[in-house]
Chains A and B, each alone.
Chain A
Amino acid sequence: MFDDEKINEIKRERERWEKTTVPKWIRQCPECKSEFRNHSGMLIKRVYTPEDIKALDYLRDLGFPGEYPFLRGVHATMYRGRLWTMRMFAGYGTAEQTNKRFKYLLKEGETGLSTAFDYPTIMGYDSDHSMAKGEVGICGVAISSLKDMEILFDGIPLDQVTTSMTINGPAPMLLAMYVAVGDRQCVPREKIGGTTQNDNLKEFFAQKLCIFPPKSSVKLTTDIIEYCARHLPRWNPVSISGYHIREAGATALQELAFTIYDGIAYVESTIERGLKVDDFAHRLSFFFASHNDFFEEIAKFRAARRLWAKIMKERFHTKNPRSMWMRMHVQTSGCTLTAPQPLNNITRTTIQALAAVLGGTQSLHTNSFDEALCLPTEEAVRVALRTQQVIAHESGVTNTVDPLAGSYYVEALTNEMEEKAMEYIQKIDDMGGAIAAIEKGFFQKEIADSAYRYQREIDEKKRIIVGLNEYTIEKEECPIKLLRIDPKAEKEQIIRLQKVKRERDNRKVKEALEKLHYATEKDENLMPTVIEAVKVYVTLGEITEVLREVYGEYKELIVI
């Protein structure tokens, strides 16, 4: 963007400045550290100048919003036309309780739903399974059958809201139930919109809620991608997730690289299924964390978009620009929240949310200040939603597209993120791909090492966390009210499940399960069969059981 002569002049001047002005000032006021690094370990310079982006070609490397390489945003006008979707992750207790929370959030101005399921649901167990004891409705809503799903979306027209579901192994079952609720509401399938997380690869090294072995898990992910490409045009079949990779301890760079790699793996598995890349790639969506280091996060989001666009174009030869779009949801980082002085978390969340917006996200969840202690109360979740609304309507950052473009620092960091992520991608390619890397424990080890390093830095006070290892309060009384899940939820849920099992047509259930067994063994796309099954109230646990029988269960590879 600058001619060589100008760059040389800047270089000369910088060197002069470093020899004269800087040492003079440093004698009076030494720098706090011998070197400054971000979370990804990148060395941060004292100051950035045009020299750091001298190779940047504006039209080639940045371009315009809504055009390749999409660095500046996937849409031409970004938030000037439409704000990001304010989508608060919610779910606890019974379907009735979560339905009430959904309606509360919609009334308070959120613009999309996001469902948190409880652990038994996530692991494919019905609420009455022995493994579910003490866990029903605790960390999310309990969904065992279509009956629960009908209650969850009671009074919420599915053609007027989009719903994200954080579900992976049992994603076919939950999507099937959602489709069934839509059918009951007489909403045409082409109008059903939302997202299933359905990113099974990251489960093996990040979120670790795996049920089936890797190959069968990817098969199920691909079933949904294929089914949606043919029948649910507004559904995002997969939300390729870096969030959990980050929360497990990865750096921003590792999060970026491993997530993009999982995306590559799904594109490959779907092409192998016989689909053309432009039949499905435009519906792939992504999910990232927004952590504390403001500019590092912004650079990560921007680099992610350009990197994905290049990969889609150069590696997969897509023709449709929409297939090159990286549409993303962002969640502020849960692991940065502190239990001491919980109100400080509002500030953290604000900074992280602002980074996501400046990074150009399409959808955002802001954590509540009480989430290091419990699931959020109504008050805490309202403050979190209001944080987004303040950014959207008061801060002015939405007035122009990608306002940080051209910053020497942000562009240099964006380039560095992209280059180093490419090095990781090359390394994983050389290992033989995502599943091979999982089986070698590569991702697991990388993440565990970063997590340990991060904790050591906090323990040694090399990293200051306000209220935790500095600025602490002795004997702090918990200043906030905590949400407790009523233990009655488990009982009520089990009673309802048993009633469903009594009252359904058990002959049809048997037939549906036999059909499912057959389809699973024949390696068919399971979506049609699963939809049929949930409609006759076959439960989540019963379906998962059939799949466990055929696919086997995943045995964790332990890497410390």
Chain B
Amino acid sequence: MQSTRKIRVLIAKPGLDSHDRGAKVVARALRDAGMEVIYTGLRQTPEQIVETALQEDVDVIGLSILSGAHKALFPRIMELLKQKGLTDVMVFAGGIIPEEDIPELKKLDIKEIFGPGTPTETIIQFVLENIPKRT
């Protein structure tokens, strides 16, 4: 059965850093592209992010981090998503994430990592093309 509901996206800020300019711009661009966007606000723990994803029944999670703590926090988020059975949620990330960390993060099932300067159109297209099919 094809669902007609809007794509629901959670834009989340794990870690202690407060650089939310990118997260907010992406949130707004996805919203302008017709998606339903929930933004968590700053400094969310992995537990809080996964809880919100569950409560809000999202299709997609975008993680934004610029503090360098992605290697400590992303694995925990992905593990919690599995534990909660949210394996059909598509996860992408953005921020300052060194090239050499990307293969490791993709192994965790993070679908894509966007660096600084990525056009919002690229992110919108990516979400549209990779949106998980819901039944």
Residues of A bordering B, CB below 8 Å: 119-120, 122-123, 125, 131-135, 138-139, 207-209, 247-249, 335, 338-340, 372-374, 448, 451-452, 455-456, 458-459, 465, 468-469, 478, 482, 484-485, 556, 558, 560
Cβ-defined partner of A339 (8 Å) among B16, B21, B115: B115
Identify 23 residue pairs between A and B in the complex whose beta-carbon atoms are under 8 Å apart, listed by A's number: A119-B17, A119-B69, A122-B16, A123-B16, A123-B43, A131-B43, A133-B69, A138-B68, A139-B67, A139-B68, A248-B21, A372-B96, A372-B117, A373-B98, A452-B29, A455-B25, A455-B120, A484-B98, A556-B41, A558-B41, A560-B27, A560-B31, A560-B37
Report how far A138 CA is from B16 CA in the complex, Å. Answer: 11
B79-129 contacts to A, CB under 8 A, are 96, 98-99, 115-117, 119-121
List residues 32-83 of chain B with CB under 8 A from any CB of chain A.
37, 39, 41-43, 45, 67-69, 71-73
- In the bound complex, how far is the Cα of B66 from the Cα of A373, in angstroms? 10
Cβ of A138 and Cβ of B25 under 8 Å apart? no
Chain B residues, Cβ within 8 Å of A556: 41-42
Q: Is the CB of B24 within 8 A of A451?
A: yes
**Complex interface: chain B residues within 8 A of A560 (CB):** 24, 27-28, 31, 37, 39
From B41, B116, B117, name the one whose CB has the most chain A CB atoms within 10 angstroms.
B117
Least CB distance from B22 to A in Å reads 9
A119 touches B39 (CB 8 A): no
Taking a contact as CB atoms closer than 8 A, the residue among A134, A139, A207, A451 that contacts B25 in the complex is A451
Q: Which of B24, B42, B98, B119 contacts A469 (CB 8 A)?
A: B119
CB-contact partner of B39 in A125, A138, A558, under 8 A: A558
A338 touches which one: B96, B98, B116 (CB < 8 A)?
A: B116
**Residues of the B chain whose Cβ atoms lie less than 8 Å from the Cβ of A451:** 21, 24-25
Q: Verify A134–B24 contact, CB threshold 8 A.
A: no
Query: Contacts A134-B71, A138-B69, A556-B42: A119 and B16 contacting too (C-beta < 8 A)?
Result: yes
Q: Which 8 A-B pairs have the closest CB atoms?
A: A134-B72, A119-B16, A134-B69, A208-B18, A138-B68, A556-B41, A135-B69, A459-B119
* Residues in A whose Cβ lies below 8 Å from that of B16: 119-120, 122-123, 125, 131-132, 135
Of B18, B45, B69, B71, the residue contacting A209 (CB under 8 A) is: B18
Extra 17 A-B pairs, beta carbons < 8 Å, given A209-B18, A247-B21, A340-B117: A119-B67, A119-B69, A122-B16, A132-B16, A134-B69, A135-B67, A138-B68, A138-B69, A338-B116, A339-B117, A372-B117, A452-B28, A452-B29, A456-B120, A468-B117, A556-B41, A556-B42
B116 touches A119 (CB 8 A): no
State A459–B123 Cα separation when bound (angstroms). Answer: 12
What residues on A are CB-neighbors of B69 within 8 Å?
119, 133-135, 138
Taken together as a complex, chains A and B put the C-alpha atoms of A133 and B45 apart, in Å, by 11
Determine chain B's interface SS by DSSP, over half rule.
loop
Set B25, B68, B117, B120: member contacting A485, Cβ < 8 A: B68
Interface residues on chain B, number (Cβ under 8 Å): 33
Chain B nearest Cβ from A101, distance in angstroms? 17
Residues of chain A within 8 A (CB-CB) of B68 are 134-135, 138-139, 485
Q: How far is the CA of A138 from the CA of B25 in the complex (A)?
A: 25
Which of B27, B31, B96 is close to A374, meaning CB atoms less than 8 Å apart? Answer: B96
* Cβ contact within 8 Å between B15 and A135: yes
Residue among B16, B20, B41 with the highest chain A CB neighbour number at 10 A: B16
Alpha-carbon gap, A134 to B70, bound state (A): 8
B20 to chain A: which residues have CB within 8 Å?
A: 208, 248
Complex Cα gap A123–B37 (Å): 28
Task: Please measure, in the bound complex, the distance between the C-alpha atom of A448 and the C-alpha atom of B72, giving whole angstroms.
Answer: 29
Q: Known interface pairs A133-B72, A478-B99. Does A448 touch B24 (Cβ–Cβ under 8 Å)? A: yes
Contacts of A468 in B (CB 8 A): 117
Q: Which residues of A contact B120 (CB under 8 A)?
A: 455-456, 459
**Closest residue of chain B to A210, judged by CB?**
B18
Residues from chain A with a CB closer than 8 A to the CB of B18 are 207-209
Would you call A134 and B73 a contact (CB within 8 A)? yes
Per the bound structure, the CA–CA distance linking A209 and B99 in Å amounts to 27
Separation in Å of the A473 CB from the closest CB of chain B? 13
B117 closest partner in A (C-beta): A468
Chain B's nearest CB lies how many Å from the CB of A429? 27
Chain A residue numbers with a CB within 8 Å of B37 are 560
Tell me the complex Cα distance, A468–B15, Å.
Answer: 27
Q: Which residues of A contact B41 (CB under 8 A)?
A: 556, 558
Closest approach, in angstroms, between the C-beta of B110 and any C-beta of chain A?
Answer: 16
Chain B residues closer than 8 Å to A339, beta-carbon distance: 115-117
Inter-chain contact B21/A338, CB cutoff 8 Å? no
| Nearest Cβ on chain B to A21's Cβ, whole angstroms | 40
B70 to chain A, nearest CB (A): 8
Min Cβ gap A558→B in Å is 5
**Complex: how many Å from CA A147 to CA B117?**
40
User: What B residues does A558 contact at CB under 8 A?
Assistant: 39, 41
Give A208 to B115 CA distance when docked, in angstroms.
Answer: 22
Contacts of B73 in A (CB 8 A): 134
Closest to A447 in B: B21
| Chain A contacts for B99, CB-based, 8 A | 478
Closest-by-CB residue of B relative to A454 is B25
**Given A209-B18, A448-B24, A556-B41, A482 and B98 touching (CB < 8 A)?**
yes
Asked whether, in the complex, the Cβ of B98 is within 8 Å of the Cβ of A374, the reply is: yes
Q: Is the CB of B119 within 8 A of A208?
A: no
Contacting pair B17 A139 (CB below 8 A): yes
Nearest-neighbour CB distance to chain A for B30, whole angstroms, equals 11
- Chain B residues near A338: list those with CB within 8 A: 116-117
Output the residue of A131, A132, A478, A560 with the most chain B CB within 10 A: A560
- Choose among B15, B21, B28, B71 the residue that contacts A119 (Cβ–Cβ < 8 A): B15
Residues of B close to A452: CB separation below 8 A: 24-25, 28-29
Tell me, in angstroms, the Cα distance from A331 to B98 when the chains sit together. 24
Bound CA span A448–B29, Å: 12
B33 to chain A: closest CB distance in Å? 12
| A249-B21, A339-B116 known; A208+B42 contact, CB < 8 A | yes
Query: Separation in Å of the A58 CB from the closest CB of chain B?
Result: 41
Q: Report A-chain residues with C-beta under 8 Å of the C-beta of B71.
A: 134
